Amino acid sequence: MKRVLITGAAGFLGSHLCDKFINEGCHVIAMDNLITGDMKNIAHLMPLPQFEFYHHDVSKYIYVPGELDYIMHFASPASPIDYLKIPIQTLKVSSLGTHNVLGLAHAKKARILVASTSEVYGDPIVHPQTEEYWGNVNPVGPRGCYDEAKRFMEAMTMAYHNVHKVETRIVRIFNTYGPRMRLNDGRVLPAFIGQALRGEDLTMFGDGSQTRSFCYVGDLVDGIYKLLLSDYNLPVNIGNPDEITIKQFGEEILKLTGANQKLIIKPLPMDDPKQRQPNIDKARQLLGWEPKVNRAEGLKITYNYFKSLSHDELFKTEHRSF
Ligand code: UDP
């Protein structure tokens, strides 16, 4: 039985990875400091003997007893609202935290996959974004704490690979959605669906001409798993290239939910990328992977998840302690 450590295990992506590794017959050691994660995302796994949970901040020294085959480093705030509120923790988890998990991988002779992001491309000048593009990031802007920490994480990961021969994998994750996203994390999909369900107008930032390309979480997790099992150690984009403007996206959500409200314009946040679309040629060629779930299907599943939340959860505007 392979033993895998998953950091950020109680978060949106981390919890889906826990499910994946349990389904693949692994022993999962889940770690989270619960600053943005939520135990309810992994509550269904807690009774399993092959699942353990450690409440721990990976920016501090990590102790894990026994052997480890894989480490999946998914701990980090990942929405602009979160990392604006907790920029120092955001910087620490991808710098100090990455150093700790790489040291652990070296000591345990484990293969490690780190979760990087399309944010390393910043507000991209090259479109769609290939892995060879170096990006256009403002280090001192509101997204700097996240973007630069993830860029540091990639550099540190390459250094451990080159110096200590650690088996490393780097995934660059593009916008992803699905059940267990936090309703109030500020991202566009939970924002729009939450507003539709509460009978509020949908807050479109700017004129809505900026684009994003949304990947269903099940597809993302399959791509990440394939990358882990591959022998490729340079960054690989995983995302869905189906690009849409935020205005069209809002209209799709209104149609899906049957809401009578309208899109209203709010100020565009500083350094909001104008366009984003992954080039996934590398994932196709190296991993034989491409997304299978189209937006209509994925949005339906996600909408049903949000509809199933309680009235309290739906109307709670902020439930984080930070
Ligand atoms: N956005 C919006 N209304 C919202 C939240 C976000 O129009 O209530 C826009 C945001 O300005 C950005 C896009 O939707 O252009 C995606 O934002 P998100 O925070 O989901 O992710 P990111 O900008 O990191 O891709």
Q: Give yes or no: 146 in active site.
A: yes
Tell me the pLDDT tens digit for each residue of 207-227: 999 999 999 999 999 999 999
pLDDT tens, 120-137? 999 999 999 999 999 999
Q: Could you tell me the distance, in angstroms and rounded to a whole number, from the CA of residue 188 to the centre of ligand 1?
A: 5
Q: Helix, strand, or coil here: 203? A: strand
Strand 211-213 to strand 243-245: parallel, antiparallel, or no bridges (unpaired)? antiparallel
Q: Is the pLDDT of residue 320 over 80?
A: no
Report which residue type is found at 90: T
One-letter amino acid of 63: Y
Q: Which atom of ligand 1 is nearest to the CA of 269?
A: 11
Cα separation, 120 vs 227, whole angstroms = 19
Single out the catalytic residue among 70, 83, 121, 146: 146
The yes-or-no answer to whether 3-176+216-238 and 177-212+242-275+293-315 have a common fold is no
In Å, the largest CA–CA distance within the chain is 58
Q: How far is Cα 166 from Cα 221, in angstroms, rounded to an integer? A: 23
Q: What dotted CATH number matches 177-212+242-275+293-315?
A: 3.90.25.10
pLDDT digits (tens, 9 = 90+) for 32-91: 999 999 999 999 999 999 999 999 999 999 999 999 999 999 999 999 899 989 999 999
The C-alpha atoms of residue 192 and residue 314 are separated, in whole angstroms, by: 12
**pLDDT score at 86:** 96
Residue 321 has pLDDT above 60, yes or no: no
For 254-306, write each residue's pLDDT tens digit: 999 998 999 999 999 999 999 999 999 999 999 999 999 999 999 999 999 99
**Pick from 58, 59, 46: nearest CA to 15:** 46
- Domain residue extents for the chain: 3-176+216-238, 177-212+242-275+293-315
Residue located nearest, by CA, to atom 14 of ligand 1: 188
- Element spanning 27, H or E: strand 27-32
Which tens digit of pLDDT belongs to each residue from 87-111? Answer: 999 999 999 999 999 999 999 999 9
Please state, in angstroms and rounded to a whole number, the distance separating the CA atoms of residues 101 and 7: 9
Question: Is 115 close to ligand 1, i.e. is its CB under 6 Å away?
Answer: no
Question: Residue 229 Cα, ligand 1 centroid: separation in angstroms?
Answer: 32
Q: Is the CB of 175 under 6 A from ligand 1?
A: yes
pLDDT for res 165: 98
pLDDT band at 319 (very low <50, low <70, confident <90, very high): very low
The predicted pLDDT at position 303 comes to 98
Q: What is the pLDDT of residue 317?
A: 64
Which element (helix H / strand E) includes 182?
Answer: none
What is the rounded distance in angstroms from the CA atom of residue 227 to the CA atom of residue 288?
A: 10
The predicted structure's pLDDT at residue 259: 87
* Whether the CB of 269 sits within 6 Å of ligand 1: yes
Give the integer Cα–Cα distance in Å for 21 and 68. 13
Distances (CA, A) of 222 to 1, 66, 227, 298: 20, 27, 9, 15
As a dihedral over the C-alpha atoms of residue 58, residue 1, residue 22, residue 222, rounded to 10 degrees, the angle is 90
* Ligand 1 site, residue 212, Cβ cutoff 6 A: yes
Six-digit token string for 181: 């996203």
Residue 318 pLDDT more than 90?
A: no
Mean pLDDT over 157-166 rounds to 98
Angle subtended at Cα 215 by Cα 210 and Cα 221, rounded to the nearest 5 degrees = 145
Determine the residue of 147, 202, 205 to mutate for testing ligand 1's pocket, defined as the one with the most ligand atoms within 8 A of the Cβ atom: 205
Identify which of 143, 212, 271 to mutate to test ligand 1's pocket (most ligand atoms within 8 A of the CB): 212
Backbone angles phi, psi at 62, to 5 degrees: -110, 130
**Closest protein CA for atom 13 of ligand 1:** 188
Q: What is the pLDDT of residue 316?
A: 81
Q: Are strands 51-55 and 3-7 parallel, antiparallel or unpaired?
A: unpaired
Which CATH architecture is the domain 3-176+216-238 placed in? 3-Layer(aba) Sandwich (3.40)
